[in-house]
């Protein structure tokens, strides 16, 4: 059972060949087996998984399960879950229990078979899951290395077979980069495709919830479950949800694929470039028309992102004041109470971003930093519009390197931020982007990123499906 994709397991559950409860038991056993090494979860929820799986099985007897139901899911701890504590990887929310489920989970009803709440960088800030207040997650491919971040817990759990699929969030790469480093598929949908209600905000103009899965079919099925308009999120799009599975096997014949030259330069490790080049070559063999694409402002995307994202988080984190949510330190007077609570509750990276963001938004600096960054964002959007008028799909590496060693970048925030150079352009433009495993370099997985225009996920998934079929990679749980 552990080697099946989520879709294959779902079919067996529908057909009554396997029960959801058996699947939940298998996931729970696997969690017990590997968690002391991997640390993918902040809060495992084995009883919840069993109880809800039992209810799914009861309903399955009458038929009518929705196609994604009953398959144990890993949920990043930034998504609100009713009655289950949701920490965001932070001390400040150590005892916070939400009163409702994130809207993205609504299509699972009351019976979401949740294996647990996955580890993450604090408030989703980071690229290695080392910024968690609950200890780092380890990469199942090499326990001395990071799983990427910030959704490193979800990525590692899926790679280790502690659940068949997972949900992460992507503000500037946090679904795609950990997926790449752990050898799984990670999809950041179009901004607004999935409701953000109940997702604890990082960068509100960037945040997207996305599937982290064993293969592209699983990503399509999980997107089907979470996509849709939500009247309770004014930024969610009222665009019909297509069937993401019908065109999946259509292949790439005649598809125009552009390789982004600015994201294939010497900043990217040679071994990574080689894997991406090989996959693109195979896609050409399979009938795609391949050329070179250019996104000139991709060189400035990282700088713009690291102004806009901290600006938004400095504002979003203001709500954690010791009054309304989570931790409160006792003190004389309200200002002293705020100060002590935030001093104790936030980790170093949260404090760094609050300072950077507050600075960039303050009078006298706003025009020089925040307004400039927004202009770069507009240029980035125009670059994509131009490139996507010539190509259907753009391709690049997902990350500049394979998984690095734990501790290698913790003393150097800039080195950590540079992990995101390939991921942030799509985030700034709000377009969908997916990472699929393309092969190995030095024995570690390399992700290939595919990007396309707003709301063209069906085509993107079809291209990604072909990419995974031509790639040199087969999923199997580790360690």
Contacting ligand GLN (CB under 6 A), which of 5, 86, 127, 471?
A: 127
CB of 298 closer than 8 Å to CB of 380? yes
**Contact (CB, 8 A) for 452 and 431:** yes
CB 81 within 8 A of CB 105: yes
Residues 129-158 that bind ligand GLN (CB under 6 A): 150
Give whichever of 91 and 353 is closer to ligand GLN, judged by the CB atom.
353
**Residue of 43, 86, 129, 174 interacting with ligand GLN (CB under 6 A):** 174
Give the whole-angstrom CA distance, residue 396 versus residue 272. Answer: 10
438 contacts ligand GLN (rule: CB under 6 A): no
In what helix (H) or strand (E) does residue 92 lie, and over which residues does it extend?
Answer: none
DSSP labels, 275-305:
HHHHHHHHHHHTT-EEEEE--TTHHHHHHHH
d(CA 88, CA 404): 23
421 near ligand GLN (CB under 6 A): no
**Looking only at residues 65 through 84 of this chain, which bind ligand GLN when binding is defined by CB under 6 A?**
none
Indicate left, alpha or beta for 109 from its phi (over 0: left) and psi (-120 to 50: alpha): left
Task: Determine which one of 150, 151, 154, 427 is catalytic.
Answer: 150
Please report how close the Cβ of residue 214 comes to ligand GLN at its closest, in angstroms.
21
185-188 sheet: strands from edge to edge: 41-44, 114-118, 73-76, 165-170, 208-213, 185-188, 433-441, 444-451, 393-397, 256-260, 289-293
Give DSSP secondary structure letters for 185-207: EEEEPPTTSB--TTBPPSSTTT-
Binding mask 189-228 for ligand GLN (x = CB under 6 A): -------------x--------------------------
Q: Which of 171, 224, 314, 341 binds ligand GLN (CB under 6 A)?
A: 171
Site for ligand GLN contains 124 (CB under 6 A): yes
How do strand 256-260 and strand 289-293 relate by DSSP bridges? parallel
Select the span of 9-17, 118-126, 254-262, 378-386 touching ligand GLN (CB under 6 A): 118-126
Q: Which helix (H) or strand (E) holds 426?
A: helix 424-429
Of the two residues 206 and 387, which places its CB atom closer to ligand GLN in the complex? 206
Candidate list 71, 158, 309, 387; residue touching ligand GLN; CB under 6 A: 309
Query: Which of 89, 98, 173, 445 forms a contact with ligand GLN (CB under 6 A)?
Result: 173
Q: Which of 174, 396, 401, 452 is catalytic?
A: 174
* Site size with ligand GLN, rule: CB under 6 A: 13
Catalytic residue check, 76 = yes
Segment contacting ligand GLN by CB under 6 A, of 61-69, 168-176, 192-200, 392-400: 168-176
Handedness of CA 373, 376, 382, 386 (dihedral sign): negative
Pick from 130, 312, 420, 468: which binds ligand GLN (CB under 6 A)? 420
- CB 155, min distance to ligand GLN, A: 12
Least distance from C-beta 420 to ligand GLN, angstroms?
Answer: 5
Q: For residues 226 and 219, what is the distance between their CA atoms, to the nearest angstrom?
A: 11
Q: Which stretch binds ligand GLN (CB under 6 A): 172-180, 270-278, 332-340, 397-405?
A: 172-180
State the minimum distance, in angstroms, from the CB of residue 172 to ligand GLN.
3
Phi and psi at residue 96, in whole multiples of 5°?
Answer: -90, 125
CA distances from 279 to 276, 285, 416, 438, 465 (A): 5, 10, 27, 6, 12
Of 170, 312, 383, 392, which one interacts with ligand GLN (CB under 6 A)?
170
**Nearer of residues 57 and 420 to ligand GLN, judged by Cβ:** 420
122 binds ligand GLN (CB under 6 A): no
Distance CA 208, CA 220 (A): 15
Q: Which residues bind ligand GLN (CB under 6 A)?
A: 124-127, 150, 170-174, 202, 309, 420
Residues catalogued as catalytic = 76, 150, 174
């Amino acid at each position: 059972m552990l080697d099946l994709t989520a879709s294959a397991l779902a079919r067996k559950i529908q057909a009554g060949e396997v029960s959801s409860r058996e699947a939940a038991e298998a996931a729970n056993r696997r969690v017990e087996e590997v968690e002391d090494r991997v640390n993918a979860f902040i809060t495992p929820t084995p009883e919840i998984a069993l109880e809800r799986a039992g209810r799914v099985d009861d309903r399955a007897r009458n038929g009518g399960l929705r196609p994604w139901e009953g398959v144990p899911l890993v949920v990043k701890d930034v998504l609100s879950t009713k009655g289950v504590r949701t920490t965001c990887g932070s001390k400040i929310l150590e005892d916070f229990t939400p009163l409702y489920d994130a809207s993205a989970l609504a299509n699972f009803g009351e019976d979401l078979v949740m294996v647990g709440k996955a580890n993450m960088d604090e408030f989703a800030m980071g690229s290695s899951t080392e910024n968690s207040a609950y200890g780092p997650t380890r990469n199942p491919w090499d326990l001395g290395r990071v799983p990427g971040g910030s959704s490193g817990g979800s990525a590692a759990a899926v790679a280790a077979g502690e659940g068949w699929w997972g949900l992460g969030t992507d503000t500037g790469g946090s679904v795609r980069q950990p997926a790449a480093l752990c050898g799984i598929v990670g999809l950041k949908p179009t901004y607004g495709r999935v409701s953000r209600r109940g997702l604890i905000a990082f960068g509100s103009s960037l945040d997207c919830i996305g599937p982290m899965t064993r293969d592209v079919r699983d990503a399509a099925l999980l997107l089907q479950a979470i996509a849709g308009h939500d009247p309770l999120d004014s930024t969610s799009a009222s665009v019909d949800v297509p069937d993401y599975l019908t065109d999946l096997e259509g292949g790439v014949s005649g598809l125009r694929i552009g390789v982004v030259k600015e994201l294939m330069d010497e900043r990217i490790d040679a071994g990574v470039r080689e894997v991406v080049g090989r996959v693109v070559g195979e896609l050409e063999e399979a009938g795609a028309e391949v050329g070179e694409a250019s996104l000139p402002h991709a060189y400035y995307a990282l700088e713009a992102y690291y102004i806009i994202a901290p600006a938004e988080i400095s504002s979003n984190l203001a709500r954690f004041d010791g009054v309304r949510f989570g931790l409160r330190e006792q003190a004389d007077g309200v200002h002293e109470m705020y100060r002590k609570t935030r001093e104790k509750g936030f980790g170093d990276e949260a404090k760094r971003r609050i300072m950077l963001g507050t600075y960039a938004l303050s009078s006298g600096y706003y025009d020089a930093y925040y307004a400039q960054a927004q202009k770069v964002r507009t240029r980035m959007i125009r670059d994509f519009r131009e490139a996507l008028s010539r190509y259907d799909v753009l391709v690049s590496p997902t990350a500049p390197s394979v998984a690095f060693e734990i501790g290698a970048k913790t003393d150097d925030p800039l080195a950590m931020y540079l992990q995101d150079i390939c991921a942030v352009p799509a985030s700034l433009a709000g377009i969908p982007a997916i990472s699929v495993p393309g092969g190995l370099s030095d024995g570690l997985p390399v992700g290939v990123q595919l990007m396309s225009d707003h709301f063209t996920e069906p085509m993107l998934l079809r291209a990604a499906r072909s990419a995974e079929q031509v790639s040199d990679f087969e999923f199997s749980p580790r360690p």
